[in-house]
Amino acid sequence: MVRTAQAAIEAVDKEFEYTAYILGRSEIETAFLITLPLAKKGILAGLILSFARAIGEFGATLMVAGNIPGKTNTMSISIYNAFQSGNNELAQMLVLILILMSLLAIALTGKFVGKLEV
The enclosing domain of 104 has a CATH number of 1.10.3720.10
Which range marks the domain in which residue 62 is found?
2-113
User: In order along the chain (118 residues), what is the average pLDDT of each group of 10 residues?
Assistant: 89 94 94 94 85 74 71 80 92 92 82 56
Alpha-carbon distance of 74 to 63, in angstroms, equals: 13
> Shortest CA distance to 102 belongs to which of 77, 84, 81, 76?
76
Q: Is there a domain that residue 118 lies in?
A: no
Asked if 44 and 4 count as a contact pair (C-beta separation under 8 A), the reply is no
> Shortest CA distance to 39 belongs to which of 48, 29, 31, 50?
31
Task: Count how many domains the chain has.
Answer: 1
Q: Is there a domain that residue 44 lies in?
A: yes
Q: Is there a domain that residue 15 lies in?
A: yes
Helix 2-10 crosses helix 40-55 at what angle (to 10 degrees)?
Answer: 170
Amino acid 22: pLDDT: 94
